[in-house]
Chain A
Amino acid sequence: MDWTALGLSLRLGLVTVVLLLPLSFLLARWLAFGRFRGRGLVEALVALPLILPPTVVGFYLLVAFGRSSPVGAAFESLFGEPLVFSFEGLVLASLLVNLPFAVQPMQNALAAIPPNVRDAARCCGLSPLQAVRHVELPLALPGIATGAVLTFAHTLGEFGVVLMVGGSIPGETRTISIAIYDRVQAFDEPAAGAMALLLLVIAVVALGITNTLARRAGRRD
């Protein structure tokens, strides 16, 4: 068992969830309630990581994060180290790859709020911000929680993109799924098996949580 890799994966998962949830909520709200042209295009872009091969996503991110790209150059001039093959680069890649897992459940939950209920919030004297806090957030909570669980579980399991963008630097970019691959390459089957089992258990628990939340959300109506 590679404890460093496990710790790194957990840290990556938590950082991704914490940063991604607020961003995704705003994006989900915009997609659920906004009236604008090109919504289909934005939704397709958000969903893209679901269908693109991870190596393809990883390749483009690698190019985008590289020293010759504006993003990579800006990061390096700000922080004095390259974005690729760093934990920060991994976080950025993880945010982009997990966008559909966080946005879609939230968008569905927000879209399921009856328009009259949102109007009623305004007519009860709530400002738009108060309406979000007292009505939209609580009603979308199952969707938000589902997004969080899916994002966390998926971050632990992501392999292709991490390998492309992060490589396998111990303590910096070697996540647990990379560690499993390394162990298999080294014919260390017991260690690979232990870590694979751990990821399996986490995945099953995550699905259990999301299913329970979905059922609970359905029951309230």
Chain B
Amino acid sequence: MTAKAGLQVRLRRAAPFALDVAFEAPAGSITALFGPSGSGKTTVLRAIAGLQPMDDARISCGDGTWTDTAAGLTIPPHRRPVGFVFQDYALFPHLTVCEQLALSLGHRPAAERPARIDALLELVQLQELGERRPAALSGGQQQRAALARALARDPAVLLLDEPFAAVDWALRESLRRELVRLQRALSLTVVLVTHDFEDVAKLASHLVVIEHGAVTAHGPVEALTARNAVPGVSGWREPAVALDACIEAHESERQLTVITAGDLRLEVPTIAAPVGAPVRIQLAAREVILASRRPEGLSLHNVVEAEVVAIEPASHPALRLVHLRVGETRVLSLVTADAERKLGLAPRQPVLALIKAVAVEAFA
């Protein structure tokens, strides 16, 4: 239903605040625009939708060019195949959920619309609430209605502006799951604006860091977190790698699930997802213990052979951040300077990484 087309964005503006960004959002995956409030992320998202005029911009998606100021081309917002979920959802207060969806289905023949509305309501699990107006919906339901309305356009790109900022923590987790499920089911190309690194770590496969109107880093989330090199995050957030993993097997007797992330194989508490399903895991550096010999008599599930890549100072003078390689997969370990001396850690040295099963944060 959606075109498998990547989004290419290049924007430049001098006033009211300087903006100069260029990045690509690959097709069929979630790209996060991450940065502090006021860094210009939302402006970028609005420019992609055509809501924000730019002095100098080129925005294209697959074969289609949406904005090209050099050629004097600007496709108006209503002719761009984008779905936009606003931070405050921006639902139409006078219309029921069904009416809002119908309004967004103008590009489809009238005969198809009722079935399409039913399908969309089912997709976001609002079947029972189609006749309600926004004021009669909870925050989470409003967000799902806004998502359905954005999807109704059969967008080539789904744009989400701080989609979880307005809901509490518990709801946030379930809405994130919902989004991941939809994104995978529909192979959506998603651009997500957020200032919460949890969104990046749990949802995004690509990351664009925007600070003061400029891109300070971009690339796959896995690579950026493994290098502990996300500007605006490395200082205050505990070092952790975010890895794309896959469910290998379930060991139902032991209530464990085996997952693999590249060359890293881990046993973790049971994950409720079928074998082969993708899982996003986060592994905090402080949860990875290093050993020179295989330990015995521990409650430990994961003893992984690794190699030291580099050792760098950590936020505390008594600590070291050790970059490790498990095959081609990167992991971080936070150890004391004392442990570094005792183990005689040095680049290219083989070590054993000990990882508690419960230390692996899995997001399926």
- Set A125, A128, A220: member contacting B104, Cβ < 8 A: A125
CA distance in complex: A127, B76 (Å): 9
A190 sits at the interface (CB 8 A): no
Decide if B90 touches A119 in the complex (CB within 8 Å).
Answer: yes
A122, B93: Cβ atoms under 8 Å?
no
Q: Does A117 make an interface contact (CB < 8 A)?
A: yes
Q: Which residues of B contact A221 (CB under 8 A)?
A: 93, 135
Q: Mark A85-128, 1 if CB is under 8 A from B, else 0.
A: 00000000000000000000000000000101101111111111
Find A220's partner among B77, B100, B135 (CB 8 Å cutoff). Answer: B135
Is B218 close to A, CB under 8 A?
Answer: no
In the complex, A134 has a CB within 8 A of chain B: yes
A-side contacts of B91, CB under 8 Å? 117, 120
| Stretch of B79-87, B124-132, B285-293, B320-328 on the interface side | B79-87
Contacts of A134 in B (CB 8 A): 92, 103
In Å, the complex CA distance between A67 and B77 comes to 51
Asked if B107 lies at the interface with its beta carbon under 8 angstroms from chain A, I say yes
Judge whether A117 and B153 touch: CB under 8 Å. no
Distance in Å: Cβ of A108 to nearest Cβ of chain B: 16
- B residues less than 8 Å from A138 (CB atoms): 94
Q: Which of A123, A135, A139 contacts B51 (CB 8 A)?
A: A123
| Residue from the list A116, A117, A123, A126 in contact with B82, Cβ < 8 A | A123
Residues in chain B near residue A220, CB distance under 8 A = 93-94, 135
Report chain A residues within 8 Å CB of B104: 124-125
Given A125-B78, A127-B78, A139-B93, check contact A119 B103 (CB 8 Å): no
A23 CB, min distance to chain B CBs, angstroms: 24
Residues of B within 8 A of A120 (CB): 84, 86, 90-92, 149
Classify the secondary structure of A's interface with B: helix
Write the A165-194 contact mask toward B (1 if CB under 8 angstroms, else 0).
Answer: 000000000000000000000000000000
The complex places the Cα of A116 from the Cα of B161 at a distance, in Å, of 11
* Known contacts A124-B103, A125-B107, A127-B78; A114/B150 CB under 8 A: no
User: Please, how many angstroms separate the alpha-carbon atoms of A128 and B103 in the complex?
Assistant: 14
Within 8 A of A (CB), among B49-97: 49-51, 76-79, 82-84, 86-88, 90-94
In the complex, the chain B residue whose C-beta lies closest to that of A141 is: B94
Q: Which residue of A lies closest to B80 (CB)?
A: A123
Min CB distance B120 to A, Å, is 13
8 A Cβ contacts from A128-154 to B: 128, 130-131, 134-135, 138-139
- The answer to whether B106 touches A125 (Cβ under 8 A) is yes
Q: Which A residue sits closest to B155, measured CB to CB?
A: A123
Residues from chain A with a CB closer than 8 A to the CB of B93 are 117, 139, 220-221
Q: Looking across the interface, which residue of chain B has its beta carbon closest to that of A115?
A: B90
Q: How far is the CA of A125 from the CA of B76 in the complex (A)?
A: 10
Q: Are B92 and A126 in contact (CB under 8 A)?
A: no
Tell whether, in the assembled complex, residue A114 and residue B88 are in contact, meaning their CB atoms are under 8 Å apart.
yes
CB A207 to nearest CB in B, in angstroms, measures: 25
CA distance A139 to B93 in the complex (A): 8
User: Hey, which chain B residues are within 8 Å of A127, CB to CB?
Assistant: 76, 78
Name A197-221 residues within 8 Å CB distance of B. Answer: 220-221
Residues of B within 8 A of A123 (CB): 49, 51, 77-78, 82-84, 150, 153
Please give, as numbers and ranges, the residues of chain A lying within 8 Å of B87 by CB-CB distance. 116
> Which of A124, A128, A131, A139 is the one whose CB lies under 8 Å from B153?
A124
Please, which residues of chain A bring their CB within 8 A of the CB of B86?
Answer: 116, 119-120
Pairwise interchain contact B106-A121, C-beta atoms closer than 8 A: no
Q: For residue A118, which residue of chain B has the nearest CB?
A: B90
Chain A residues near B94 (CB, 8 Å)?
138-139, 220
Is there contact, CB below 8 Å, between B84 and A119?
A: yes
Min CB–CB distance A82 → chain B (angstroms): 47
Do B90 and A117 touch across chains, with their CB atoms under 8 A apart?
A: yes
Task: State which of B49, B51, B103 has its C-beta within 8 Å of the C-beta of A126.
Answer: B103
- A120 vs B147: C-alpha distance when bound (angstroms): 12
Q: Which residues of B contact A117 (CB under 8 A)?
A: 90-93
Q: Are B90 and A122 in contact (CB under 8 A)?
A: no
**Structural contact, A122 and B149, CB atoms closer than 8 A:** no
> How far does the Cβ of A8 sit from chain B's closest Cβ, in whole Å?
38
Q: Is B51 in contact with A121, judged by CB distance below 8 angstroms?
A: no
**Chain A neighbourhood of B78, CB < 8 A:** 122-128, 130-131
Q: What 5 A-B pairs have minimum CB-CB distances, sorted nearest first?
A: A116-B90, A120-B90, A122-B77, A123-B84, A124-B104
What are 5 contact pairs spanning A and B, CB under 8 A?
A: A117-B92, A123-B150, A131-B78, A220-B93, A221-B135
State the A residues within 8 Å of B (CB): 114, 116-117, 119-128, 130-131, 134-135, 138-139, 220-221
Give me 19 other A-B pairs in contact (C-beta within 8 A), A116-B90, A125-B79 excluded: A116-B87, A116-B88, A117-B93, A119-B77, A119-B86, A120-B84, A120-B90, A122-B51, A123-B153, A124-B78, A124-B106, A125-B78, A126-B106, A130-B78, A130-B106, A134-B92, A135-B92, A139-B93, A220-B135
